[in-house]
Chains A and B, each alone.
Chain A
Amino acid sequence: MIECIASERIETNCYLIEEEGHALIIDPSCGKFIIDKLTEKGWEPDYIILTHEHYDHIWDLEEVRDHYGIPVIASSLCSERVQSIQTNLSSIGDILIYFKTGEEPSEPGKRFTCRAAEITFDETYTMNWRGHDFEFQRIPGHSPGSVLITMDQNSVFTGDYMIYGEPDMTRLKGGSKKDYDRITLPVLDAIPADFHVYPGHGPDYIKKNDTK
């Protein structure tokens, strides 16, 4: 079972994957809602997984990891970059919200850093979690630490790539159009049609042949 919780602040999706009463948390963007949902469902989280280092995807990482005392999985570059307000972009978070919504945030956003992940990998990582196969592949372009997470050869968690109806963004600080074109675009294009796409913003959807 996969549940999505969208944070109020910038509508960043957090996904909870459940199996046998246990859960994985992908991108802890809204701590209270995550904890409330897990409590309500009676699910015990095992890991936190990060799609990339940007502030809106790690907004409540420290709160959730401290609450449950569970390890974080991330690419090495993501792990490194969550530790700086410049590279996790929390230094310009309010401005991002303003440009996205046209409204100044009602209260100043926090500028924050997170601790390094407990489990890191440079380019790829695989694991089996309660019968589910996961493959992690670093796909730079949007950010150096971005990762594609493939689950059971039928679903992908794409972070800030493949957001429905939006072009992939490579112009934020740390982004690279060159890396995107050379490394990431071929990977995204190779995702088979009919895979279920769970992006970091907006609705999930089924990939069609003519769309990323």
Chain B
Amino acid sequence: MTNLEKYDNAFKLNFKVSDEDLPGLVYQGIFEWDSVGHMDLMADFEAAYGIQMSTKDVLDFTSYEKGKKILTERYGVNFDE
């Protein structure tokens, strides 16, 4: 499974959304992505990529697109593999 597939799957499994829902998805934009859903999502990324995210990065992770940027720039997750 590629890093992008892991990334997308975390959203899809946690929030019961489909591929077409992912672009533009934002924190608190849907019921499931509230504070509890956010914690679950972050825990899944930490487990999937073997990283430990800082509190600041977790709080800055406010959209599907921004999350990719944070994971790439701060944790070296390559989504182009």
Measuring CB to CB, which residues of chain A are less than 8 angstroms from any residue of chain B? 86, 89, 91-92, 94-96, 98-99, 104-105, 108, 111, 169, 171-173
Contact = CB atoms under 8 A, between A and B. Distances in A.
Contacts of A99: 35-36, 38-39
B58 A95 contact: yes
Contacts of B43: 86, 89, 91-92, 173
Interface residues of B, number: 14
25 contacts: A86-B46, A89-B43, A91-B43, A91-B46, A91-B52, A92-B43, A94-B55, A94-B58, A95-B42, A95-B55, A95-B58, A98-B55, A98-B59, A99-B35, A99-B36, A99-B39, A104-B59, A105-B55, A108-B55, A111-B52, A169-B36, A171-B37, A172-B39, A172-B40, A173-B39
A91 B58 CA distance: 12
Interface of B (DSSP majority class): helix
Interface in B43-60: 43, 46-47, 52, 55, 58-59
Contacts of A171: 36-37, 40
Nearest to A86: B47
